[in-house]
Amino acid sequence: MITSRGYAALSAKAPLAPWTFDRRSLGDRDVKIDIHYSGICHSDIHQAREEWGKAIFPMVPGHEIAGIVSEVGSSVRKFKIGDPIGVGVFVDSCRKCASCNSGDENYCEKNMTATYNDLERDGITPTYGGYANNFVVHEDYAVLIPKNLELSGVAPLLCAGITLYSPMKYWNVNSKSQVAIMGLGGLGHMGLKFAKALGAHVTVLSHSAAKEKDAYRMGADNFLLSTDSEALISFKSTFDLIFNTVSAEHDINIYLNTLKLNGTVVIIGLPGKPFSVNAGILLGARRSMAGSMIGGMKDLQEMIDFCGEKNILSDVEIVEPAYINEAFTRTVASDVRYRFVVDARKF
């Protein structure tokens, strides 16, 4: 076994606290990673607080992992000691179904194995995430990080980055696209950067007036206060695509009207409760409502290589492990610019 030092939630009500635990010894195709940075995703908060239903405790959250390979199993081909690599939201899948065979392991018909708050494929061993000093993963579920990218700004790409990059590819965002990004948080700010890098015209829909300057600095063409209903009316039938990353419950109907004929709202944020949708707004302009969840391993490597070429990184606030609970509170209050990453060498 390999000893890990990290932070865990022992129950949905308890703050996260230091916790030492074991990970498996390296199998032939496994690599050990010394984690340098671990991003704090809003999904970590939803799960640690059981906002998505019953969870597995103790829980070591963290699925935005960037670090350096420190050991390799005897048959590892993809990586060598010293390589910068990353791990995202899942660490295994059935490897046999149509989804797995087409590079959509995130949509595995037998379910992906989540990086934490899940059981390994043996159905018994809990998975523990990246709020820790080290990690063990099968080489097929990790990606090589381009050497020119600084690891702290890379960590959030492993979830926030891929979660916007993958649907932007699927819905073909390009220089003719009118795109709106709802919610300028960890996911939203990556969506803004990717949509601009793909040449789109981008409007940020935010409920935080204080983020306007940052939105323009990151390349937004427009900033619209989502609480300003009059302004929203003036944007009727404007967007081809809305990427909705809002983490809290909200009325989606007022935004649907801003979609053009044949426009699509892609739901990415996952609040605990279902949406109520006015069907008339959808059928009135053949609008669609869709969803998207992270991305497969091929897309993950492609996204990170794209970031290497274009020098795209997340805007991060680097924090110490002892700050994790405060970082959770500030994230829920939409007070993060724009992703917290934990300095994992301090665990």
- Rule CB under 6 A: which residues touch ligand NAP? 41-43, 46, 159-160, 163, 183-188, 206-208, 211, 245-248, 250, 268-270, 292-294, 331, 334, 336
Question: What is the closest distance, in whole angstroms, from the C-beta atom of residue 329 to ligand NAP in the complex?
Answer: 11
Q: Smaller CB distance to Zn ion: residue 159 or 241?
A: 159
Q: Is 311 left (phi over 0), alpha (psi -120 to 50) or beta?
A: left
Q: Rule CB under 5 A: say whether 178 interacts with Zn ion.
A: no
Q: Smaller CB distance to ligand NAP: residue 31 or 181?
A: 181
310 is written with which tokens? 């274009």
Q: Smaller CB distance to ligand NAP: residue 76 or 91?
A: 91
What does the alpha-carbon distance between residue 110 and residue 95 come to, in Å, rounded to a whole number?
Answer: 9
Q: Smaller CB distance to ligand NAP: residue 28 or 251?
A: 251
What does the alpha-carbon distance between residue 122 and residue 239 come to, in Å, rounded to a whole number?
Answer: 45
Q: Segment contacting Zn ion (CB under 5 A): 91-99, 130-138, 271-279, 311-319?
A: 91-99
- Residue 46 binding result from ligand NAP, Zn ion, none, given CB thresholds of 5 to 8 Å by partner type: ligand NAP
Contact assessment for residue 285 and residue 278, using Cβ atoms and an 8 Å cutoff? no
Residues near Zn ion (CB under 5 A), total? 8
Q: Smaller CB distance to Zn ion: residue 64 or 214?
A: 64
Q: Rule CB under 5 A: say whether 293 interacts with Zn ion.
A: no
276 is written with which tokens? 């109520």
Q: In which element (H, E) is residue 265 found?
A: strand 259-267
Question: What is the closest distance, in whole angstroms, from the C-beta atom of residue 300 to Zn ion in the complex?
Answer: 13
CA distances from 320 to 40, 61, 153, 187 (A): 12, 15, 15, 22
Crossing angle of the two packed helices 186-197 and 160-170, in degrees rounded to 10: 40
- The backbone torsions φ and ψ at residue 129, rounded to the nearest 5 degrees and listed phi first, read -90, -155
Q: Smaller CB distance to ligand NAP: residue 69 or 215?
A: 215
Report the residue closest to ligand NAP, judged by CB. 185
Contact assessment for residue 166 and residue 299, using Cβ atoms and an 8 Å cutoff? yes
Which of 8, 40, 41, 91 lies at the binding interface for Zn ion (CB under 5 A)?
41
Which of 38, 47, 93, 113 lies at the binding interface for Zn ion (CB under 5 A)?
93
Tally of CB atoms within 10 A around 252: 19
145 is written with which tokens? 């990080």
CB neighbour burial string for 267-283, b if at least 16 within 10 angstroms, e if fewer: bbbebeeeeeeeeebbe
- Residue 108 binding result from Zn ion, ligand NAP, none, given CB thresholds of 5 to 8 Å by partner type: Zn ion
What does the alpha-carbon distance between residue 51 and residue 195 come to, in Å, rounded to a whole number?
Answer: 30
Which of 91, 100, 192, 246 lies at the binding interface for Zn ion (CB under 5 A)?
100
Q: Rule CB under 5 A: say whether 157 interacts with Zn ion.
A: no
Tally of CB atoms within 10 A around 184: 26
Q: Rule CB under 5 A: say whether 43 interacts with Zn ion.
A: yes
Question: What is the closest distance, in whole angstroms, from the C-beta atom of residue 225 to ligand NAP in the complex?
Answer: 9
- Residue 307 binding result from Zn ion, ligand NAP, none, given CB thresholds of 5 to 8 Å by partner type: none
What does the alpha-carbon distance between residue 312 and residue 337 come to, in Å, rounded to a whole number?
Answer: 16
Question: What is the closest distance, in whole angstroms, from the C-beta atom of residue 64 to Zn ion in the complex?
Answer: 6
The site for Zn ion (CB under 5 A) is made up of 41, 43, 93-94, 97, 100, 108, 159
